[in-house]
Structure 1
Amino acid sequence: MLFHVVPVDEWTADVDRPYAPASLTTDGFVHCSPDGPAALAIANGPFRDLPDLLVLLIDEAALGSEVRWEGSEDMLFPHVYGPIERAAVTGVLAVRRDTDGHARELTPWA
């Protein structure tokens, strides 16, 4: 299972097409996380100032694009080298923040 942090408005923008964030154009791949704690760390890092975040749960085996696990010996991150087919998304979680704005938990998105 891959985890991908995304603002709500990006995920819901064009539901009839595969999901292709800006990083696919700028970096050549979609950044993903290996687990929930890493996704929360991303929500608390580069996405810190965005209030409405989701985490997509992606079935790696259902993707048509190549997935490469890249990084350092200490931590590997999955990178998807192509758009994410919406059928490969098996669940969507909401990032819940505490009163200080820290991302603390992932809960089912309604």
Structure 2
Amino acid sequence: MQKIIKIIRPIDWEKAQNIGEIIESSLTTEGFIHCSYEYQVPNTAAKHFSEEERILLLVVNEQKVSETLKVELAKNGEYYPHIFAPISIHAIENVFTVLKQKDGTFPFPTR
């Protein structure tokens, strides 16, 4: 089973920890919070976080968000996990810090 990953800026993770949940503007504008499967992380990070030098990869416990999780087809033809509610910080199993590489990529950690 593929891990569900929420890519987030460190400052946004800090805010989420202070309020107890991840809430993004996409929840209001699109109705869900964007997530990726681990194999999608490098492309998603390059596309949406290219201005960042450091990002966090939050591993989401699928069982703790199952009632609000839907896998949907995106415009690029791939299926992505979307969470249709704020994500409780208690649903996060692990946090990885990833630094942008010299080539501009954000690799998924292999540990």
CA contact (8 A) 2:56 2:97 kept: yes
In structure 1, the partner of 2:97 is 94
Q: Structure 1-normalised TM-score?
A: 0.84
Count of residues paired in the alignment: 106
Q: List gaps (5 residues or longer) in structure 1.
A: none
Q: List gaps (5 residues or longer) in structure 2.
A: none
Summarize deviations over 1:12-51 as a string: whole Å, max 9, x none: 114142111221112110001122x311211111111112
CA contact (8 A) 1:5 1:56 kept: yes
More helix by share: 2
CA contact (8 A) 1:97 1:105 kept: no
Alignment of 1:1-110 (within 5 A): 1-15=3-17, 16-35=19-38, 37-63=39-65, 65-71=67-73, 75-106=78-109
After superposition, the CA RMSD in angstroms is: 2.0
- Same amino acid, percent of matched pairs: 25
Closer, same or farther in 2 for the Cα pair 1:64/1:76, shift >3 Å? closer
Q: CA deviation at 1:63?
A: 2.0
CA contact (8 A) 1:4 1:55 kept: yes
Q: Structure 2-normalised TM-score?
A: 0.83
